[in-house]
Amino acid sequence: MLKRKMLKNLEIYSMGNALLEHMQEGLNLPVKVNFYLQKNMNTIIGLARGIEESRGEILRKYGTPNEDGTSYHFDDDKINIAQNELNDLFDLEQEVKIYMLKLDWFDDVELSSDQVNAIMFMIEDEEDEEE
């Protein structure tokens, strides 16, 4: 079942990172869950990459990269402006199309809390059925 959910950019970003972690760890999840993860993964990861690009633009706009380019230095007069823009970015909400599934096996799978959160957004509950 396809649902539209409003999610904050911070939620999307966190889910995208957790889904990438899932891919890297190669967890052995039931086929049905992997099917739904794959259906949703491109959407979530694509949105998370867009958020990461916007975050990078804010850092480049207000900060100066260090020599190796791994972090940024911010002048005192720009650090609050940059932080406010980052907060605004992560507080924005977007409508996300999610393929939902019902799960009866969920308690039997060992997952990190981030991975649980990444999967929970697509579990259909009674509230979703009323929409």
Rounded Cα distance between 35 and 121, Å, is 15
Q: Which residues pair with 96 in a beta bridge?
A: 5
**Token digits of residue 81:** 């402006």
pLDDT at residue 95, as a whole number: 94
Rounded Cα distance between 65 and 67, Å, is 7
Written as tens digits, the pLDDT of the chain (131 aa) is: 788 889 999 999 998 888 787 676 666 666 667 777 777 888 888 999 999 999 999 999 999 988 887 889 999 999 999 999 999 999 999 999 888 766 665 655 666 777 777 777 666 655 544 44
Number of H helices, E strands in the chain: 5, 4
- Cα 113–chain centre separation: 13
**Token digits of residue 58:** 């804010």
Compute how many other C-beta atoms are within 10 angstroms of the C-beta atom of residue 26: 7
Rounded Cα distance between 32 and 16, Å, is 19
Q: Which domain holds residue 50?
A: 2-130
Number of domains in the chain: 1
Rounded Cα distance between 87 and 114, Å, is 21
pLDDT at residue 105, as a whole number: 58
